[in-house]
Structure 1
Amino acid sequence: MDVHVPCSFSYPWSSGNSWYSSDEPFIYWFREGDRHYSDAVATNDRKKRVKSETQGRFRLLGDPRDNDCSLSIKEARLSDSGVYYLRVERGSLKYNYREKQLNLQVTEKPDIQFLEPLESGRRTPLTCSLSLVCDGPHPLLFSWAGDALDAMNPDTLHSSELTLTPRPQDHGTNLTCWVTLQGAQVTLERTVLLNVSYAPRNLRISLSFRNITGRTGPLLSRAGSCSWDHHQGVAGEWA
């Protein structure tokens, strides 16, 4: 899961110090509790050490000269959850943004719940849920995809719940639920493989009789077979 955190800043201007100088601006993101001399999680300052667990995954996206402090987090982990603060430096100007901090909460994948096994022709409710812990409200957007949903009204595929009537051909196909956290620009997904059961189709029973001659006279021999189609379209048979 990749996370994009849009960020912009303004510097508290004072008469003796101006942000608009010829010095290169530096952006630092720190974990809450760390000081400015601690290892950062992301920075454009090549002389600054970066935490080994965030190196290569946390990186700045924008140009600090444009007051852009946007942060990209690649392959976010549960251990990345926590509070982060921004620090900017330019020449003699140094400032920690403690009033507005980033509260990052990395969650597990969504969970798709339904009664198993699925039976062909039986209406079954499905629910997509997300165990979400966050600071402040984050509206959730849901969306579904899968071959089993191709006959459904697209307007019904943007809810956390839907009702599916499985078909034999839906067996072995994928069903995916996406959950997007508005504002945080984070999308999580879960894919499950559908296991659909149904009664045998195209059941065929055949019987045959023939006369054979035994030691004591003619005998009547009977043979029978039964064949059917099952999930993968392969015929089963016994005799």
Structure 2
Amino acid sequence: MLPLLLLLPLLWRGSLTQSWRTKMKPQISVTVQEGLCVFVPCKFLYSRGSFGYLPMSWFQSGANIHRDLPVATNQPGQKVQERTQGRFLLLRDSGVNNCSLSIRDANMADNGMYFLRVESFFQRYEDKTFLLKVTALTQLPSIQIPGILESGCPRNLTCSVPWACEQGTPPIFSWNSAALTSLGPKTHLSSVLTLSPRPQDHGASLTCQVTLPAVGVTVKRTIHLNVSYAPQNMVITVFQGNSTEALKILGNASSLPILEGQSLHLVCVADSNPPAELRWFRESPTLNTSLISNTGYMELPQAGTGEEGVFTCQAQNQLGSQHVLLNVSVHWKPEPRSCSEALGAAGGAGGMALLCLCLFLIFRVKTQRKKAAKTVEAMNDMNLVLG
């Protein structure tokens, strides 16, 4: 009778082992990116009732269970490997028959096979259960911009890493931009930046950089700012006649003299976002004057008195408008003379010059004669006195 009682636990052990081997449902392989977290579901069922709490430990393949420490355990007071401490967790309150493993801050050294060791009064069970694959981090932070960036209106930009896990080591955020910025509130997985956009910030780059300190990996995302602003810095470019040389007019109410009959080409541009609608008016657009051109280009084929006056280029978009005035004045060309008129004019001028020269010579001669006569009289008087 005694041998039969001693054999019963062995038979029960064999039956239990067979039950665990056939009803355990582990995940064969799991993949996680470096620095992130992964949950390995694992559960086993008994064929005859529940045994309650069972001591369980996870080991990396190749470990000696009598000499090496496990990577995770549910046994209080049991030491685990230093590199996995606090990262590989097998919770004691995860439920009866639950062998699920939680892995945080995965690194390349975690690659490999892992097996579960379950101990009971009747038997010990261990088997290779899953393969952990740790790959390079390819996830990037995302940058959210609420609404439209408008010049002069501060906006809060948020950089977040929703793919990171709350249980892992908090990531480190940093921002880089030439725009006017200030740091706002921060959460475990996000950082807020307050941006005060200016027209010159349109197209500027802004970078959010995130470092996962547990593994020393850094990723970043760069965007280019799209800042909306009203028209500014208007310029009128002037081409006169067939000349290819351009004259740029930057100021308002500038004067432009042109010759009668000369053609004039005017090109108006403005700096704005979104692009402004450009139009040319006679006089000022505020006076409800007639529209000359609904583009930034205007041409005066032959300038005359009718083309004199003030012309206005107006630039307008959803955020505002700006205009520049140009005062055009027409000058008459001097009429060309005929050849005989030119010669006659030249001859008349030459005769007048000759006449002036003769009069000057006559006056000069008379003056010299008077001086000579006075000199003779003075000498005669002197002789008389001496005699």
Q: What is the TM-score when the length of structure 2 is the normalising length?
A: 0.31
Q: What is the TM-score when the length of structure 1 is the normalising length?
A: 0.47
Structure having the higher strand fraction is 1
Structure having the higher helix fraction is 2
Q: Which has the larger radius of gyration?
A: 2
